[in-house]
Structure 1
Amino acid sequence: MDMARSRVPEEPVDRPEGDDAPNAVWFKPVMVGFMLLGLAWILVYYISGSLYPIPGLQGWNLGIGLGIALIGFLMTTRWR
């Protein structure tokens, strides 16, 4: 007699829809880090009189700072 064939098949487990797994431990610090890095980039640009962080980009430094901060803000939509 084969034991593997005599087993009763297990019934599928019901799982509620919409229950998402929590975020990884690193998600929140990275999210806040992007927002703060973008803010710091913009502050350094204004305080230095457009000499830093990258002098050749001039006004595009604002776009870079806003883009970095935007990544952090977009991550907030995925935070559970």
Structure 2
Amino acid sequence: MPKSTVRKKKVYTPPADVRPATTTAVRKKPSHVALPITAVALIVLGIGWLVVYYLSEGAYPVASWKYWNLAVGFGGMVAALGILSRWR
């Protein structure tokens, strides 16, 4: 049986009116030194808050907040994650 010919597709080039203008690459500045330090501090404080809460069986850091102490601890860690997403 004869072998079929292979058709090559042309490389797509968008029309000139749709094509983005070529510009030089803009380099963004690196992050400030305080950004990772703040993020690590929030992680440590969040974990520390949770450890103190569990080890004191809810008596510390703030007894009247009850389970909201968990939200404070995890909230600190989530805030650190948000800060680290901005790190360059």
Structure 1 and Structure 2 fold alike (TM over 0.5) = yes
Task: Name the larger-Rg structure.
Answer: 2
| Corresponding residue of 2:57 | 49
Aligned residues: 66
Q: TM (normalized to structure 1)? A: 0.76
Gap regions ≥5 residues in structure 1: 1-13
CA distance in 2 between partners of 1:63 and 1:78 (Å): 23
* Structure 2 contact 35–84 (Cα < 8 Å) conserved: no
- TM-score of the two chains, using structure 2 as the length reference: 0.70
Instruction: Find out whether 1:67 has 2:75 as its counterpart.
Output: yes
Deviation of 1:61 (Å): 0.2
RMSD over aligned Cα, in angstroms?
1.3
Moved over 6 A (4+): none
Gaps of 5+ in 2: 1-22
